[in-house]
Amino acid sequence: MVDVETRRVRDRGRPRSGTTLRPDLSAPEQILDAAAQLFVEGGYSATSTRAIADQVGIRQASLYYHFPSKEHILEALLMRTVSPSIGAARSLQQADADSPARLWALIAYDATQLFQAPHNVGTLYLLPEIRNERFEPFRRERKALRDIYAALIAASIATSVRVDLGPTRGSAEQSSLDYLVDVVFGMVESAIAIRADRAGDDANTLVTTIAQSCLRVLGHTDDPLRTISADGRRILAELTVAQDAAR
């Protein structure tokens, strides 16, 4: 007679070779976790579904039961770098604070996510594969997040910068605003490259520096910036409490 623990061990199949096994996760979650590690550390095109299955300790057929192809795994991983921030942005719309504080909180949430997710999946954003038609849904999701940023940024620019962008709210200003959105969005995503360069960084200091810097780019300084940061920190903490309660 085989006791339950022994059977569970045996049912896992062949011994797992990975260093970051997560037996607490469901099968699809384990596949995503192993794939993220292999894609980030060994490269996407160099990683086979066989290697992912081996890492998890399952057969390739079991992997295909959950994900029809390697592209589906990559797509799921990429979606997870963007979708939670879209959800956070929606919740923050209800928060009791001005636009600049909401923007501060969204930036901090988004950058924390990029910096602290189990593997640095954002490094895969620039893969040539992602320009394929196949990844259009991900590009659309990332565009949706950028659009949320654009609206919040437009509502958060200080008067002095608005003057720099042009005297009217015509097409010239709209286009200058686009470049400003590019730069702020780029600053948030710079968490990816910073993490790749300097893995030991303190997440909290880095994320605060990024959020403060974005608000400075939009013209906020000194005492007003301190108020924005304090408000942003407060509504972000409220969001985190609400998310934890919903779990």
> Closest Cα to residue 188, out of 159, 152, 239?
152
198 binds a copy of itself (CB under 8 A): yes
Q: Is 196 in the site for a copy of itself (CB under 8 A)?
A: yes
What is the Cα–Cα distance from 220 to 197, expressed in whole angstroms? 29
Q: Which residue number, 94 or 221, has a Cβ lying nearer to a copy of itself? A: 221
Is 121 within 8 Å of 39 (Cβ atoms)? yes
Closest to a copy of itself by CB, 86 or 194? 194
DSSP 15: P
Answer for which of 3, 168, 186, 246 binds a copy of itself (CB under 8 A) is 186
Residue number with CB closer to a copy of itself (29 or 182): 182
- 124-to-99, 109, 114 alpha-carbon distances in Å: 31, 20, 12
Among 71, 98, 201, 238, binds a copy of itself (CB under 8 A): 201
42 contacts 104 by C-beta, under 8 angstroms: no
| Tokens of residue 60, six digits | 């390739």
Binding flag, residue 230, a copy of itself (CB under 8 A): no
Q: Give min distance, CB of 103 to a copy of itself, in A.
A: 15
Structure tokens at 85: 């921030």
Q: What part of residues 139-178 is at the interface with a copy of itself (CB under 8 A)?
A: 160, 164, 175-176
Among 149, 145, 153, 144, CA closest to 173: 153
What sections of the chain are H helices per DSSP? 4-11, 27-42, 49-56, 60-66, 70-79, 83-93, 99-116, 136-154, 159-165, 171-197, 203-217, 222-246
128, 170, 171, 247: residue in contact with a copy of itself (rule CB under 8 A): 128
Residue 205 is a binding residue for a copy of itself (CB under 8 A): yes
Site membership for a copy of itself, residue 123 (CB under 8 A)? yes
- Minimal distance in Å, beta carbon 26 to a copy of itself? 27
Binding site for a copy of itself (CB under 8 A): 40-46, 123, 125-129, 160, 164, 175-176, 179-180, 182-183, 186-187, 189-194, 196-198, 201, 205-206, 209-210, 212-213, 216-217, 219, 221-222
